[in-house]
Structure 1
Amino acid sequence: MTVSREVELQGHIIDSGMMQTCFGVIMDMGGSFEVEEFDIGRHEDERSYAKLLVSADDEEQLQSIVHELHQNGANPADPNDAHLEPAPADQVVPKGFYSTTNHPTEIRYDGEWIDVEDIEMDCAVVVEDGENPYAYTKVLNAVEEGDLIVTGEAGIRVSPPERPRGSEGAFGFMQGGVSSERPSETTIANIAEAIEETKSEGGKVLAVCGPALIHSGAREDLARLVREGYIDMISAGNGFAVHDIERDLYGTSLGMDTESLDHPRKGHKHHIYTISEVIREGGIEEAVESGTIESGVMYECVDNDRPFVLAGSIRDDGPLPDTITDAVEAQDAIREQAHEADMVLMLSTMLHSVAVGNCLPSTTRVVCVDINPATVTQLLDRGSAQAVGMVTDIGTFVPLLAEEVLDEE
């Protein structure tokens, strides 16, 4: 005896591939389906609708299929309210709690749909009861005893970003995936236009930076973008900041002159000397204010009041006093930045980009640039529908981007 459930798909379900994906999920998981209703949008701006009757051999199999469909934007045709259970203890969630995607999500509460705020992947949904109830995400280590946690799949509506035909404007190009063959100058011009549009709309641009950016000689151009207000926030590691400051103090990055490519005598000690000087001053801000640091990305962040997060790792030398060495504290700082960002530039750093990417909703515009194609693919596969990847040298990309943005002012 089979069991069945009706699910709905709405929006640009054909152009986005949502319908094809859902059909594949059902068949791959051993289920079957019938299309009960299908209303096709006849114009580029019209939405489509489909209702499917999904069948499986037993309830457990059906539940598994419906769960996967739900992650891809198919929702129950006749939803109930979301089921809530209190957290039994701090950092402990009820069994069967709903683990979020990074797509815009709503929950049904007291017969009404309410948005889940600060959506990101792999979180619990907490509901605050009261006259004006609201829902938001919490990472597991932030859950407190008594928090009302959404469990199961009922009363949850996920809306993956759509890709309608004829997407135009500054962000229309940000749906093409990864290509090392896409014309670089055209793509960089499009990215520059996207940055300018983000800023003109009052949005914020976050740059996630790796040390290779300094080694490759792109430091001054990134500093210009920070100084002129096209980059509002920096997320990086201890190494990025150390090498940026080393370039100011000693003219080297990890002991190498980034202009002549020479290795000065005792240059290999410059990075640790740099850390020592900043520790002596008490921190990066203090070193800028005293005149010890006079140029570079970190200098421009302090001088122009652009916030930065330096998240530490087990391999850091020093580290700098500004580096956050507690992993959970660093995650919280990264999360706060990510929630403020409207556009993110991931510049030649896989680990920090993954950390930031984990905190981003799928609607955030993302640009990922790395010389390694596997890095770009891995980052973009994490779920942003408004993303573009470039496989190129970061030392070429940043100066060209700065030229496009700054020389057209």
Structure 2
Amino acid sequence: MSFSLPVYRAPDFSAPAFARCPNARFVPAPCDGAAPDGYHSTSMYPEYFRIDGRWTLAEESRMDSCVVLRGNGRLDVVELRNLKQGDLVALGRTDDGADGIYLHIGGFADPEAQAEADAFTFRQGRSRETSYTKDYDRLIQLLRHEKEHGNILWVMGPAFSFDAGARAAMQALVEAGYAHGLLAGNALATHDLEGAHLHTALGQDIYTQQSMPGGHYNHLDVINRVRRCGSIPRFIQEYNIQDGIMYSIVKQGVPFVLTGSIRDDGPLPEVIGDAYQGQAAMRSLVKQATTVICLATMLHTIAAGNMTPSFRVLPDGTIRPVYLYTVDADEFVVNKLLDRGSLCATTMVTNVQDFITKLAHGLGVL
């Protein structure tokens, strides 16, 4: 199976309907951290704004944010809390051009495929019964392309830390160049380092599942030792860590962001405890990503999904899709992302430990 990116088809703004559209309205933000009444809220799709008779794309978009017109004509997508008094914020609650704003959903759609689609078909939902063979094949081809031409961002829950095979599979993917960034929480990093240091996760052997005597101390001991070292890389060096996800991430120089939770033990030194600082750090990696794969973490998945647009504008001006995958053993979790409006996501209902192992075998790194 060969892989090629779909061609983006921009709206035909020469059509008569667009000629009648007004210019978009921009008014100053009344104060720091708040938008004017009637502000326009963004989606994950490409959105164009008519300015002085010309349609301009807001290039770095995300859901649930405002659009600010800068002095140089650039449109920036800004979270409400990051608005500054006087920022020129777009107004408009319609997106069909009536307010000078046009939401373009079908930019990457295949017109022939759409024309051939049946109005009624069985099994359109995603469940444990869904056939995912084609999804695996497509993802394998996509990742081979993205390794050289894109940016692959992994969003991972702690389930990988509890299984020796899953840790080995993810390590192999990182070392083979299939990771350009990692988003996770305290637990993924803690239990992965526990697995490397003590061969347990939450005190249970990561291969035999046997609980070790006094094992309930293991993750706390690891956190304490990492904190005493001052950082994860320093801990890896001082304790001669030789395997695992965080080991490979650090050794390969892959950037990572660990964001905290109210329930965290410790946490590890790199964990960002301020939710908004954490969100900003996450978005700094999301902005670079062209494929985002979210695995067994509902809240991180929703957060990353809300930050991830359906498109990316490349340095040469080419517009390409951003691929978003979410994988979980629970149908509720993957459907929750769709309920939040991330309609461009591919969802797979399966055990993520099996998923990552199958993916690594498919890519030939195991």
One-letter identity of the residue aligned with 1:296:
G
1:362–1:383 CA contact under 8 A, matched in 2:
no
Output the CA distance in 2 between the equivalents of 1:177 and 1:117.
Answer: 31
Find the partner of 1:403 among 344, 348, 361: 361
Find the partner of 1:124 among 42, 54, 66: 66
The 5-angstrom pairing of residues 253-402 of structure 1 reads 253-363=201-311, 364-402=322-360
Output the CA distance in 2 between the equivalents of 1:166 and 1:80.
Answer: 32
Output the CA distance in 2 between the equivalents of 1:108 and 1:148.
Answer: 14
Residue 81 to residue 48, structure 1, CA distance change in 2 (3 Å): closer
Output the CA distance in 1 between the equivalents of 2:185 and 2:42.
Answer: 27
Residue 152 (structure 1) aligned with residue 82 (structure 2): no
1:189–1:401 CA contact under 8 A, matched in 2:
no
One-letter identity of the residue aligned with 1:371:
A
Aligned-residue offset at 1:193: 1.3
The 5-angstrom pairing of residues 160-171 of structure 1 reads 160-161=105-106, 162-165=108-111
Q: Which residue of 2 aligns with 1:98?
A: 40
Aligned-residue offset at 1:387: 2.8
Output the CA distance in 2 between the equivalents of 1:382 and 1:136.
Answer: 23
> Is the deviation greater in 285-294 or in 133-142?
285-294
Aligned-residue offset at 1:83: 0.7
1:380–1:388 CA contact under 8 A, matched in 2:
no
1:177–1:387 CA contact under 8 A, matched in 2:
no
Residue 142 (structure 1) aligned with residue 87 (structure 2): no
Specify the SS of the correspondent of 1:406: coil
Alignment gaps of 5+ in structure 2: 1-8, 94-98, 114-123, 312-321
When the two chains are superposed, the root-mean-square deviation of aligned CA atoms in Å is 2.5
Aligned-residue offset at 1:384: 4.0
Q: Which residue of 2 aligns with 1:172?
A: none
Output the CA distance in 2 between the equivalents of 1:92 and 1:381.
Answer: 26
One-letter identity of the residue aligned with 2:150:
G
Q: Which residue of 2 aligns with 1:210?
A: 157
Output the CA distance in 2 between the equivalents of 1:108 and 1:95.
Answer: 20
Residue 228 (structure 1) aligned with residue 187 (structure 2): no
Output the CA distance in 2 between the equivalents of 1:117 and 1:139.
Answer: 15
Specify the SS of the correspondent of 1:340: coil
Output the CA distance in 2 between the equivalents of 1:164 and 1:48.
Answer: 16
Specify the SS of the correspondent of 2:236: helix
Cα deviation, 1:107-146, whole Å, max 9, x if unaligned, reads 111111111121111101000124xx11010001111111
Output the CA distance in 2 between the equivalents of 1:229 and 1:166.
Answer: 35
Cα deviation, 1:28-82, whole Å, max 9, x if unaligned, reads xxxxxxxxxxxxxxxxx9x999x9xxxxxxxxxxxxxxxxxxxxxxx87721111
Output the CA distance in 2 between the equivalents of 1:179 and 1:165.
Answer: 27
The 5-angstrom pairing of residues 76-95 of structure 1 reads 78-95=20-37
Output the CA distance in 1 between the equivalents of 2:50 and 2:215.
Answer: 61
The 5-angstrom pairing of residues 42-53 of structure 1 reads none
Aligned-residue offset at 1:336: 1.1
Residue 206 to residue 319, structure 1, CA distance change in 2 (3 Å): same
Output the CA distance in 2 between the equivalents of 1:165 and 1:179.
Answer: 27
Count of matched residue positions in the alignment of Structure 1 and Structure 2: 331
Specify the SS of the correspondent of 1:316: coil
Residue 141 to residue 263, structure 1, CA distance change in 2 (3 Å): same
TM-score (norm 1): 0.76
Aligned-residue offset at 1:239: 0.5
Q: Which residue of 2 aligns with 1:21?
A: none
**Which structure has the higher relative contact order (CA within 8 Å, separation 6+)?**
2
Output the CA distance in 2 between the equivalents of 1:177 and 1:207.
Answer: 24
Structure number with larger C-alpha Rg: 1
Aligned-residue offset at 1:165: 4.8
Specify the SS of the correspondent of 1:178: coil
1:283–1:322 CA contact under 8 A, matched in 2:
yes
Aligned-residue offset at 1:362: 2.6
One-letter identity of the residue aligned with 1:327:
A
